Amino acid sequence: MNAPSRTLNFITPLAGLMLAVATALVLFYAPREAVMGEVQRVFYFHVAAGWVGMLSFLVAAVAGGMYLARPRARLDEVAVSSVEIGVVFTLINIVSGAIWARPAWNTWWTWDPRLVTAAVMELIYFAYLMLRSGIDDPERRARLGAVYTIVGFLSVPLTFFSIRFFRTLHPVVIGVSDPAAVGGFDMTPRMLQVFLFSLLTFSLIYISLLWHRVRLERLTRKVEEAKQQRMAGGAA
Amino acid sequence: MTAFWQTADTAGYLVLGMAAIFGLMTLYVLRLRSRSRALRKELEELQRTSAQKK
């Protein structure tokens, strides 16, 4: 397998460094929120993880659409890699949200529209990974996967807009929250700076992880091909 | 609850939240690394055996 490109060798440590800086900013630079106290600092990475989750599913849907228009193995590799990363980051978003909810809402979990739509979105993409592992034919797997990423993407805007359309406990970060929302706050300029830096950091982590994961997918394909060649050689 | 204990309580949840975020990210990176190492080893093995046959 080819060695990682110079860009990847640059992006990966940069993403690590930015994560360290973002953590320091979250803990020491961002002001303490008056009502919720220290736990509100989870917000910066909680939202950034949610952003990466949704971005991953968008990239997968775009790659899926492009695959249907013009089948290329590379596009399928991008789609499956992006979905896997999206599932991990959505899980981070849900778990960190539950930990924040305990002191803010006095419960780890509630059947709120945002929480339910996020959990359904996570399950939809988890099912995508399970479905793929059950199909042996690579072309059929890629075609079905492409259709799934496009249809499954419907869950992403539904999750994003759930706090704007339905009556909910979950506050809106940018815009007007529902009057019933609990745990909302107005961002000070310092909070906004840390929030934007966290979003940038997590976006860079996503790019780096996607690149590494696509390389892994290509390696998997190479192993499969080598196995098939060996089997064909053995049969002859 | 005194102000001190209130701060300690919310700080505890912050530590838990950060541990979950970094823990899950680290687990995923480690899983990617171990998968990559195993696949590379398997590919080398396959290439070695096919070269021996030739």
- Describe chain B by its helix, strand, coil percentages, rounded to 5: 95, 0, 5
For the segment A201-210, the average pLDDT, to the nearest whole number, is 98
The pLDDT value recorded for residue A198 is 98
Q: Which residues contact A198 (CB under 8 A, 6 or more apart)?
A: A22, A25, A26, A44, A45, A47, A48
The pLDDT value recorded for residue A75 is 97
* CB nearest A45 (choices: B10, B13, B21): B21
The pLDDT value recorded for residue A127 is 97
Q: For B2-28, how does the pLDDT look when each residue is reduced to its tens digit (9 = 90+)?
A: 788 878 888 999 999 999 999 999 999
* Number of inter-chain CB pairs under 8 A, A vs B: 90
The pLDDT value recorded for residue A187 is 85
Interface check for A193 against chain B (CB to CB < 8 A): the answer is: no
Distances (CA, A) of A31 to A20, A171, A198, B21: 18, 19, 15, 21
- Testing the interface with B: which of A94, A96, A107 to mutate, by most B Cβ within 10 A? A96
Token pair in block for residue A135: 């199909």
Q: Are A73 and B42 in contact (CB under 8 A)?
A: no
The proportion of chain A whose per-residue pLDDT surpasses 90, expressed as a percent, equals 77
pLDDT at A156 exceeding the cut of 80: yes
From A202, which residue of chain B is nearest by alpha-carbon distance? B25
Q: For A72-82, how does the pLDDT look when each residue is reduced to its tens digit (9 = 90+)?
A: 999 999 999 99
Q: How far apart are CA A217 and CA A222, in angstroms?
A: 9
Q: Which residues contact A87 (CB under 8 A, 6 or more apart)?
A: A53, A122, A125, A126, A129
pLDDT at A118 exceeding the cut of 80: yes
